[in-house]
């Protein structure tokens, strides 16, 4: 009797384990999915189970499921899918890199007072643009003005959403259709490919370069000034250094040139250290107050760098110049949110007491923490760390960086952990995929964690994350 091909095919299909996988409706009745439904909703759980079924079907097709229970594997895959879907895209990270103002990790952690202020105005309504005393519409730009004037000596102040916006707004208002005179040695790239020449061009002005990369003199500026000059822009090279045969023009001399030619002078500080005495032993850094004393019409800087506050662009200067910026239509595109203003105001208040500012603003506290204190925190957490097998975690002296385009080349003595006896890349990956993630550095084939940027109270989290990561890396 000849075999029936159709019967053979039916038998083969019946023997296929993928056809015996449980349906979604049956899976929904199981205890696990029933509990998930209460948390995530039925539709989301159905999607998760379908994703789990697809995963197991693929594993059965490739033979990678092995002897595992298909239903258990479906549920595990579905639960992992749900967990991944519920995980926020923007989340907390443990910074073990030693870079205090790490741009990729959000720069400056906020002070407790700033976080409390953000929550206070974010939970309900606020007087963002309402004058409570007059009972009528107010301006969001008044909320930090008094503090900025008090702390810098400025006649007026304005806050926008970042320093690039501050520069763009200033250039557009003061020099749209005209020329912006800048030294070639100050045509910096701010970061993320945002360059001063590009910002000037997008703001509607023409760049007039003067001098050379390493030497610019007052005469270079003087020859460039003319009827089409909108402003002189001095940019503090906060994220790089030029050493050796160099020359630049002091701000006060530029102000004198500008006054003689009726041209406003703007000083872009970038990082913006408010009080130099808060960072003893650090290289000299221009402050907003000093720039204003030198006669700058406007001074711009970032709120989330050396100030230690939220991302913002701060503009201080002469009242007439600031009033012009307030009337520019672009200001609406650059305006700040209520939570940003609340955090900035709370941060600025801390500067009224310098000792309190250093104690409570995390960036300043990290930058000024004595290396002995950093070492003791690292040593204390190391005592409870469980390293498997031949893996060794040792206390090491390391060097930290300020980051955020501030104090280029300046290093801080620090201390942390160095992992040996295991693949550094595997440890690095396991730490980055932990909850919370731990971001360290791989140097000379070894994984390192710098404790200067581990906030007080995070030491034990770092220990637990690394312990789990070492066990995972050891198994791979």
Position 17 pLDDT exceeds 70: no
- pLDDT surpassing 60 at residue 11: no
Dihedral sign from CA coordinates of 67, 70, 75, 81: positive
Percent of the chain with pLDDT over 70: 92
Query: Phi and psi for 296 in degrees, rounded to 5?
Result: -60, 140
Average pLDDT, the chain: 91
Give 416 or 65, the one with higher predicted confidence. Answer: 416
pLDDT in tens, 309-356: 999 999 999 999 999 999 999 999 999 999 999 999 999 999 999 999
d(CA 61, CA 45): 24
- Average pLDDT of 67-75? 84
pLDDT at residue 8, as a whole number: 45
Q: Are 47 and 82 within 8 A, CB to CB?
A: no
Q: Does the structure show a pLDDT above 80 at 88? A: yes
Check: CB of residue 110 under 8 Å from CB of residue 309.
Answer: yes
pLDDT value of position 472 = 86
Rounded to 5 degrees, φ, ψ at 412 are -110, 130
Using omega within 30 degrees of 0 as the cis cutoff, is the peptide bond preceding 137 cis?
no
pLDDT at 76 over 60: yes
pLDDT at residue 173 tops 70: yes
1: pLDDT strictly greater than 60: no
**Domain covering 111-360, topology:** 3.40.640
pLDDT in tens, 423-474: 999 999 999 999 999 999 999 999 999 999 999 999 999 999 999 999 988 7
Max avg pLDDT among 38-47, 74-83, 147-156: 147-156
The answer, yes or no, to whether residue 410 has pLDDT greater than 70, is: yes
Distance, in Å, from the CA atom of 454 to the CA atom of 462, rounded to the nearest integer, reads 8
Q: Residue 215 gets which letter from DSSP?
A: B
CA atoms within 13 A on the CB side of 317: 27
Residue 350 neighbours by CB distance under 10 Å: 22
- Position 5 scores a pLDDT of 55
How high is the pLDDT of residue 294?
96
**Backbone dihedral angles phi then psi of residue 269, each to the nearest 5 degrees:** -85, -20
Per-residue confidence (pLDDT) for residue 271, from 0 to 100: 87
Q: What pLDDT is stored for residue 7 in this prediction?
A: 47
What CA–CA distance (Å, rounded) separates 453 from 438? 11
Q: Residues of the chain with pLDDT > 90: what percent?
A: 75
More confident residue, 59 or 253: 253
Which residues lie below 8 Å from residue 453, measured CB to CB, with a gap of 6+? 95, 96, 97, 98, 99, 100, 102, 366, 400
Q: Residue 193 — very low, low, confident or very high, per pLDDT cuts 50/70/90?
A: low
Tokens found for residue 442: 């791989």
Report how far residue 32's alpha carbon sits from residue 190's, in angstroms, rounded to the nearest whole number: 50
Q: Structure tokens of 291?
A: 């720039």
Contact indicator for 49, 23 with CB cutoff of 8 Å: no
Close Cβ partners of 6 (under 8 Å, ≥ 6 residues apart): none
- Domain map of the chain by residue range? 15-86, 94-103+366-475, 111-360
- Please state the rounded mean pLDDT for residues 80-92: 91
**Could you give the angle at the alpha carbon of 84 between the alpha carbons of 80 and 85, nearest 5°?**
115
- Of 180-189, 278-287, 451-460, least confident by mean pLDDT is 180-189
Lowest mean per-residue pLDDT among 66-80, 314-328, 383-397:
66-80
The answer to whether the Cα torsion of 95, 98, 104, 110 is positive or negative is positive
Nearest to 167 by CA among 350, 336, 362, 299: 299
pLDDT recorded at residue 404: 85
Mean pLDDT of 30-46: 92
Task: Please compute the mean of the pLDDT values over residues 251-273 and round it to a whole number.
Answer: 94
pLDDT of residue 238: 63
DSSP 8-state class, residue 247: B
Residue 51 burial (CB count, 10 A): 18
Please report the pLDDT score of residue 223 as a whole number.
93
CATH topology of domain 94-103+366-475: 3.90.1150
281 has pLDDT over 80? yes
The SS3 call for residue 212 is coil
What would the DSSP string read from start to end of 290-342? HHHHTT-SEEEEESSSTT-SSS-EEEEE-HHHHHHHHT-GGGGTTPPPHHHHH
Of 471, 461, 473, 474, nearest in space to 384 by CA: 461
User: From CA 76, how far away is CA 74, in angstroms rounded?
Assistant: 5
> In the prediction, which pLDDT does 474 show?
76
CA angle 103, 162, 273 (to 5 degrees): 70
Tell whether the torsion through CA atoms of 175, 179, 180 and 181 is positive or negative. Answer: negative
Which residue(s) pair with 394 in the sheet? 418
Assess whether the previous peptide bond of 436 is cis (omega < 30° from 0): yes
Tokens coding 71: 């239903």
């Amino acid at each position: 009797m000849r075999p029936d091909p159709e019967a053979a095919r039916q038998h083969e299909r019946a023997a296929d384990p993928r056809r015996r996988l449980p349906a979604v409706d049956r899976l929904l009745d199981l205890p696990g999915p029933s509990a998930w439904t209460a948390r995530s909703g039925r539709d989301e759980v159905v999607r998760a189970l379908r994703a789990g079924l697809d995963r197991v079907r693929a594993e059965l097709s490739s033979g990678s499921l092995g002897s595992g229970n298909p239903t258990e594997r479906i549920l595990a895959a579905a639960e992992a899918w749900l967990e991944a879907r519920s995980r926020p895209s923007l989340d907390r990270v443990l910074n073990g890199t030693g870079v205090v103002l790490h741009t990729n990790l959000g720069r400056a952690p906020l002070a407790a007072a700033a976080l409390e202020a953000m929550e206070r105005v974010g939970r309900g309504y606020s007087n963002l643009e309402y004058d409570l005393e007059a009972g009528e519409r107010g301006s969001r730009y008044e909320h930090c003005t008094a503090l900025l004037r008090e702390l810098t000596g400025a006649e007026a102040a304005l806050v926008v959403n970042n320093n690039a916006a501050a520069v763009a707004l200033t250039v557009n208002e003061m020099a749209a259709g005209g020329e912006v005179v800048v030294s070639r040695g100050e045509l910096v790239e701010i970061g993320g490919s945002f360059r001063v020449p590009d910002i000037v061009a997008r703001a509607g002005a023409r760049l007039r370069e003067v001098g050379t990369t390493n030497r610019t003199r007052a005469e270079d500026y003087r020859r460039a000034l003319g009827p089409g000059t909108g402003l002189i822009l001095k940019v503090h090279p906060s994220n790089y250094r030029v050493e050796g045969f160099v020359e630049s023009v002091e701000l006060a001399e530029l102000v004198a040139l500008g006054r003689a030619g009726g041209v406003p002078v703007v000083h872009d500080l970038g990082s913006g250290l408010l009080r130099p005495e808060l960072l003893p032993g650090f290289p000299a850094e221009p402050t907003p107050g000093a720039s204003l004393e030198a006669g700058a019409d406007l001074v711009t800087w970032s709120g989330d760098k050396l100030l230690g506050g939220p991302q913002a662009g701060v503009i201080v200067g002469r009242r007439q110049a600031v009033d012009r910026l307030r009337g520019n239509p672009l200001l609406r595109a650059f305006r700040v949110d209520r939570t940003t203003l609340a955090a900035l105001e709370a941060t600025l208040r801390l500067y009224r007491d310098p000792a309190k500012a250093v104690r409570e603003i995390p960036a300043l506290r990290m930058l000024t923490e004595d290396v002995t204190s950093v070492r003791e925190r690292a040593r204390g957490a190391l005592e409870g760390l469980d390293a498997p097998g031949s893996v060794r975690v040792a206390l090491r002296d390391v060097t930290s960086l300020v980051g955020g385009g501030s104090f280029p080349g300046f290093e801080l003595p620090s201390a942390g952990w160095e992992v040996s006896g295991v693949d550094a890349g595997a440890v690095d990956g396991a730490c980055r995929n932990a909850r919370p993630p731990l971001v360290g550095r791989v140097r000379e084939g070894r994984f390192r964690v710098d404790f200067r940027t581990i906030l007080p109270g995070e030491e034990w989290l770092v220990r637990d994350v690394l312990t789990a990561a070492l066990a995972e890396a050891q198994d791979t």
